[in-house]
């Protein structure tokens, strides 16, 4: 049976727990992607990040993406965990894992999943800068006018 699992968590996590769940003797390849909280963006020093999700739709859309990956690529399993809440520099914001018979499909599916998650799943990121300012990524530039609170 092909498992299918997209999760949101407000807790800090390490990927190895989820990797164990994917162990499968038919798999010759496991690939993963981890997104980490970086200390800078677009020339500004970032102190921390906040992720907010619309949980109902985020889980549905995330599961749809994993199902698409199983459909499109010859993989055995795929998982994705995304953090919510306030994250510090260096924490894992998102983890994607894929297993397959061979590495090429595992790599391709992993790339597909993270790209689709970033562009489709209703999760938003607010950067808190070292200078005390903050801003919603991808929203501040397109906003016609921003009122600072």
Partner 1 sequence: MKNIHLQYFAILREFRGQNEDSWETTAATAGDLYEELKTEFKFPLTQKQIRVAINGEFSAMDSLLKTGDEVVYIPPVAGG
CA distance 126 to 79: 25
Whole-angstrom Cα Rg for the chain: 17
Rounded least distance, CB 122 to partner 1, Å: 5
CB of 17 vs partner 1, minimal distance in Å: 20
Residues that bind partner 1 (CB under 8 A): 35, 51-54, 56-57, 60-61, 82, 93-94, 114, 117-126, 136-139, 142-147, 149
Instruction: Kindly report the number of other CB atoms within 10 A of residue 146's CB atom.
Output: 11
Q: Which is nearer to partner 1, 44 or 60 (CB)?
A: 60
Give kind and range of the element (H or E) at residue 113: helix 103-120
Q: Indicate the pairing of strand 123-129 with strand 75-83.
A: unpaired
Phi then psi dihedrals of residue 4, to 5 deg: -150, 115
Q: How far is the CB of 135 from partner 1 (least distance, A)?
A: 9
Structure tokens at 19: 């990797």
Least distance (Å) between residue 139 CB and partner 1:
5
Q: For residues 51 and 73, which CB has a smaller minimum distance to partner 1 in the complex?
A: 51
- 76 vs 114, beta carbon nearer partner 1: 114
């Amino acid at each position: 049976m092909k498992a299918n699992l997209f999760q949101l968590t407000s807790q800090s996590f390490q990927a190895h727990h989820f990797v164990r769940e994917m162990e499968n003797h038919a798999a010759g390849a496991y690939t993963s992607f981890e997104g980490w909280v970086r200390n800078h963006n677009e020339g500004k020093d970032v102190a921390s990040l906040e992720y907010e999700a619309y949980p109902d739709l985020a889980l549905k859309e995330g599961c749809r993406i994993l199902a698409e990956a199983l459909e499109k690529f010859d993989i055995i399993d795929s998982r994705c965990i995304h953090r919510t809440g306030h994250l510090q520099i260096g924490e894992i914001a998102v983890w994607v894992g894929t297993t397959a018979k061979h590495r090429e499909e595992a790599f391709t599916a992993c790339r597909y999943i993270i790209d689709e998650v970033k562009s489709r799943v209703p999760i938003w990121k607010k950067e808190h800068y070292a200078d005390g300012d903050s801003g919603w990524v991808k929203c501040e530039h397109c906003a016609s006018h921003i009122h600072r609170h």
